[in-house]
Amino acid sequence: MAGPSEDYQNSLGNDDIKDQEDAHESSDPVDEGKDTEGDSMAHPASNSIHRSSSRPQLDLSKAAIQGNFEERDPTILLPNQSDDISHLALDIGGSLIKLVYFSRHEDQSTIDKRKKTVKLRLGISNGNRRSYPILGGRLHFVKFETHKINECLEFIDSKQLHCSGVDSRHWGSESPNSQPINNANNAVIKKATGGGAFKFADLFRERLGVSIEKEDEMDCLVAGANFLLKAIRHEAFTHIEGQKEFVQIDHNELFPYLLVNIGSGVSMIKVDGDGKFQRVSGTNVGGGTYWGLGRLLTKCKSFDELLELSQRGDNRTIDMLVGDIYGGMDYSKIGLSASTIASSFGKAISENKELEDYRPEDISLSLLRMISYNIGQISYLNALRFGLKRIFFGGFFIRGHAYTMDTISFAVHFWSRGEMQAMFLRHEGFLGALGAFMSYEKHGLDDLMVHQLVERFPMGAPYTGGNIHGPPLADLNEKISWMEKFVQKGNEITAPVPMAKPGTTGLGGFEVPSSKGGTLRSDASALNVGVLHLVPTLEVFPLLADAKTYEPNTIDLSETGELEYWFTVLLEHLPDLVDKAVASEGGTDDAKRRGDAFARAFSAHMARLMEEPAAYGKMGLANLLELREECLREFQFVDAYRSIKQRENEASLAVLPDLLMELDSMSEETRLLTLIEGVLAANIFDWGSRACVDLYHKGTIIEIYRMSRNKMQRPWRVDDFDEFKKRMLGSGPQKPRPHRRALLFVDNSGADIVLGMLPLARELLRRGTEVVLVANSLPALNDITAMELPEIVAEAAKHCDILRRAAEAGGLLVDAMTNSIDGSKENSSSVPLMVVENGCGSPCIDLRQVSSELAALAKDADLVILEGMGRALHTNLYARFKCDALKLAMVKNQRLAEKLVKGKIYDCVCKYEPAG
């Protein structure tokens, strides 16, 4: 099997399971690998992990600017800041060290005065339920082999994870007050669990000056599982006949459940709530049994090698099946088919063969099934014993291996007669480390909700198909300081296991189920779990009719051909995107180098998702687009379309006065229609569409806009304009009341915002409706951002009194800010125009995760307008709201047109849905 380096292969080589000796060295009397009598059979419910209510204090002593002094918004290092959040927790087992470490968000600079103005005027505090600083940043998941503990120590030191208060944006760089390795004075306390927390405590103190505080293994295991199941949307999944399906569990229905942790041995824990659990059973036949017997019988040198063998095996040469006993017949009277395993390794009794006469592949597969079935059966029986409906399996024995999961799943299904399913966890191997991390005081993890955690995709050059795709990460370290040295360290990445040979028994087991595919492969996603972005200021959009049933994605990538089609679209657009990204950085050699690295890394992620569509969780089209933007940002392309957006904004603002004059000369009804036509026509300016990119190469934006307006003939493909007009203007002498507040989710820069959405906002303001322009928090393609929008409004306000007064009232004109919050009569006579960030940096939007500021503003809104393909078609086309909703978009993709509106490219959507 080809690989990048010998060191890297070695770091992936050994078993990812705990030795039974870990438990002997732990203070926990329960032996994970044994089912013992007495107290250990019923581990008492542990106390909840203590949470401190004290507020973190900011320590500004010796604060200094770090980096280039001429850099805009340079980082300020707080070398003495410690009362915030501890950065590192470990689970040190006999085979693996699992790390969970924290890094701060790189906060985008914001115009604080504008935000404060909006908050003061609307009575918004911080939009959050907490009044003191809480966790905001990223959780990373890393593993090392325990026998290579020196590599782990070097990794911790290189990132300064052992030093409290170092700004994690610059871990790995020189810091003035970084703690030298070997300095044992003033030791920092770090949390750890597992037997190695005792075994290696002195080594951590000597090498890093770190004092290890030991946490109970069972406490940590349960705390980590509870956190993941409550906080991560696509954490739990089933794996049946090679098919992974994610399961979303209501928090109110989570408990009780059975947690089966498969290390060297197996512990079965009944979990009744946070901090409430009991070890109810276990077995000493676990991962250690598989690896130990496998090593003796096959001479394999590593756990992964043993798993590889199993995928090429045929257990029929060793296992005695029911058909072998009954001459190929079923034993139908008691419900056993001919393919049911009657006795694992049973054929070895009657055959005159020596060990070397059997294929190692067949031995490995038979052994894997025997142990996995045994674990599945005992787990089901314990769930039945306590009346539990859910069983979650974890531990590094599973490690996302398809055969293992399918075998356990089949055993649970077989014995429960289909009434129960086995479920697995994506972060299965990090439960203990996560629990130890949560045992720190003051970090507030226990208060985080599912919408406040976003699992981003692992970036850099991933390892798939036995090769590294993209440049070796080490080559980029000098210029791209953020990159983890994952390839050198062997973190979070595992080599794929080859496909099984045709003609084997497939899944096998008590019975051989009919597999949907002829072969199964390993699933590396459990080790390549990405990074959890923790954003405490994200909230659920309060105007959703039913947040529990809301699904943002309109395109199901699991449908035949959908994944391939959209991958092709994204990859065809890639060269143009790289050109724009490099140009945005001045076209320097460094930018070209990073652009090439981005292209290769993003292509590699696409290739991996083609192999494993569920590798990064449940994927929709919106997730693919987000992956692209996240990857751009990771390669330091902050805004690939910056210069293009500026040019288009300037060109559009130049013709805005003439457009407004034309609109003002129209009748009310004609003006409303013209405004909607203008939004639809201007929405053609989308650099994310291949068809539109081709148009850009053929003419100026004014020519494109004129052509688009000429196509605005009704009826449109989806045309609810008349219903919207009736709500706005009425149908008789009685005029309807205006909307109180409208949220306008804007899309692209240039003509889209200036000639489309701003005139529509102006019309609503004219009617006495407060208007909130909702824009991206971070750049994505040529979308307008909340940082850019106030400047555009200020320029437009120079030509329009309506916009000027509303912008002053909303605090968007900086020189009018003092007056805008003093309650003067001049400003109180005008409804405000405000700008708010949506909390995302993608062409699409998931309304389960919006900024707290937007959520606060939404509570008094009674009209939502979603504009653009990303917000109104790719996502939210079928979303229902508690208030009136208008969805406007020009369809700029032929497949999307056919699938969603049964039309053609450049068709228009004007979808109006009254409240309720």
Res 875 pLDDT > 60: yes
Euclidean distance between CA atoms 66 and 69, whole angstroms:
8
Query: b or e along 830-854 (b: 16 or more beta carbons within 10 Å of the residue's beta carbon)?
Result: bbbbbbbbbbbbbbbbbbbbbbbbb
Residue 191 lies in a domain: yes
**CATH no. for residue 862?**
3.40.50.10880
Residue 280 lies in a domain: yes
CA distances from 271 to 389, 447, 521 (A): 12, 20, 32
| Residue ending a domain, choose from 417, 452, 487 | 452
- C-alpha angle 614-615-619 in degrees, rounded to nearest 5: 45
Give the residue from 472, 537, 409, 710 showing the smallest Cα distance to 133. Answer: 537
Indicate the range of 44-53, 413-422, 783-792 predicted with least confidence: 44-53
Residues 846, 761 share a domain: yes
Do 509 and 369 touch, CB atoms closer than 8 A? yes
Residues 878, 788 share a domain: yes
Do 743 and 864 touch, CB atoms closer than 8 A? yes
Residue-wise DSSP of 647-659: HHHHHHHHHHHHH
Residue 207 lies in a domain: yes
Residue 195 lies in a domain: yes
Res 793 pLDDT > 60: yes
Query: What's the pLDDT band for 143 if we cut at 50, 70, 90?
Result: confident
Predicted pLDDT at 897: 85
Do 330 and 336 touch, CB atoms closer than 8 A? yes
Residues 287, 266 share a domain: yes
Euclidean distance between CA atoms 532 and 655, whole angstroms:
45
Do 424 and 237 touch, CB atoms closer than 8 A? yes
Residue with tokens 């957006």: 645
Residue 385's domain comprises: 233-318+358-426
Q: Report how far Cα 25 is from the mean position of its chain's Cα atoms.
A: 36
Residues 714, 696 share a domain: yes
Query: What's the pLDDT band for 830 if we cut at 50, 70, 90?
Result: confident
| Residue ending a domain, choose from 378, 409, 426 | 426
Predicted pLDDT at 894: 84
Residues 194, 279 share a domain: no
Name 226's Cβ contacts closer than 8 Å, sequence gap at least 6.
254, 271, 274
Per residue, what are the HEC states of 173-225? CCCCCCCCCCCCCCCEEEEEECCHHHHCHHHHHHHHCEEEEECCHHHHHHHHH
Provide the number of structural domains found in the chain: 4
| Residue ending a domain, choose from 390, 410, 426 | 426
Predicted pLDDT at 457: 63
| Percent of the chain predicted with pLDDT > 90 | 40
Q: Enter the tokens of residue 388.
A: 């539990």
- Average pLDDT (70-79) is 38
Residue 114 lies in a domain: no
Residues 704, 783 share a domain: yes
Euclidean distance between CA atoms 778 and 866, whole angstroms:
18
Predicted pLDDT at 537: 85
Do 319 and 344 touch, CB atoms closer than 8 A? yes
Do 133 and 196 touch, CB atoms closer than 8 A? no
Residue 870 lies in a domain: yes
Residues 199, 100 share a domain: yes
CA distances from 115 to 121, 127, 812, 823 (A): 10, 11, 9, 17
Euclidean distance between CA atoms 279 and 45, whole angstroms:
8
CA distances from 753 to 515, 652, 746, 804 (A): 52, 9, 7, 17
Predicted pLDDT at 70: 39
Res 795 pLDDT > 70: yes
Predicted pLDDT at 96: 82
Res 248 pLDDT > 50: yes
> Using one digit for the tens of pLDDT, what is the confidence trace for 551-568?
999 988 888 888 899 999
Query: What's the pLDDT band for 789 if we cut at 50, 70, 90?
Result: very high
Residue 564 lies in a domain: yes
Do 34 and 288 touch, CB atoms closer than 8 A? no
Res 412 pLDDT > 90: yes
Residues 783, 901 share a domain: yes
> Using one digit for the tens of pLDDT, what is the confidence trace for 453-509?
777 665 544 433 334 344 333 333 332 322 222 222 222 322 222 233 333 332 333
Predicted pLDDT at 496: 29
Indicate the range of 167-176, 298-307, 434-443, 787-796 predicted with least confidence: 167-176
Cβ atoms within 10 Å, residue 906: 19
pTM metric for this prediction = 0.76
Residues 301, 153 share a domain: no
Residue 488 lies in a domain: no
> Using one digit for the tens of pLDDT, what is the confidence trace for 304-347?
889 888 888 998 999 998 888 877 777 777 767 777 888 999 99
8: enclosing H helix or E strand: helix 6-11
Query: What's the pLDDT band for 704 if we cut at 50, 70, 90?
Result: low
Residues 144, 285 share a domain: no
Residues 699, 586 share a domain: no
Res 526 pLDDT > 90: no
What crossing angle do the helices spanning 287-298 and 360-386 adopt, rounded to 10°?
160
Query: What's the pLDDT band for 623 if we cut at 50, 70, 90?
Result: confident
Residues 399, 410 share a domain: yes
CA distances from 270 to 77, 377, 386, 581 (A): 45, 16, 8, 52
